[in-house]
Amino acid sequence: MPFRIAKTFTVESGHLLTKHPGACRFPHGHSRTVEIVISADALDERDMVCDYKAIKQTVSDFVHRFDHSIALNTSDPHYGDYREAYGDRVVPFEREDPTSEAIAKMIFDHIKQALINASRNPIDPLYPVRRSVRLERVRVTETASTWAEYFE
């Protein structure tokens, strides 16, 4: 039975859903919680799956890219205007709406690769990431009563 740990981050982010029939097609924001669940079959020499600091060092820059940003479908007719006005504060989603499901998958895909990279080239040798550590899932809350998650 594997051991699991979780690390959460909170970001304030906006989006609009071009395919939505209701009010969500207009720009709006959420206080999102991003929960990352990591597992391993055995504990390391410190009796941990992975130090929480290693997780933070590995993933926080990418997750915080969503903080005070707006996520947009690149097919939105106003995408170019937003990008010109707000630069890297616009998080592009290639021809898909930035739903919580799509955000969870984007974060999962990035973190999965970031953990592999950190296991090969530690960011800080005091806080290594073992190759046996696995990303289980990413959960993104949108409101106090709604969330979406992605896992493989």
Per-residue pLDDT at 1 = 67
Per-residue pLDDT at 8 = 97
Per-residue pLDDT at 100 = 97
Range of the domain at 127: 3-151
**Residue 28 to residue 45: CA distance in whole angstroms:** 46
What CATH number is associated with residue 109? 3.30.479.10
Per-residue pLDDT at 66 = 97
Please list the rounded mean pLDDT of every run of 10 residues in the chain (152 residues). 94 96 96 97 96 95 96 97 97 98 98 97 94 97 96 96
pTM over 0.85: yes
Identity (one letter) of the amino acid at 80?
A: G
Q: What secondary structure letter does DSSP report for 122?
A: -
Per-residue pLDDT at 98 = 98
**DSSP letter string, 27-90:** -EEEEEEEEEEEEESS--TTS-SS-HHHHHHHHHHHHGGGTTEEEEETTSTTHHHHHHHHGGGE
Distance of CA 80 to the CA centre of its chain: 24
- Tell me how many domains the chain contains: 1
Do 138 and 149 contact (CB within 8 A), yes or no?
Answer: yes
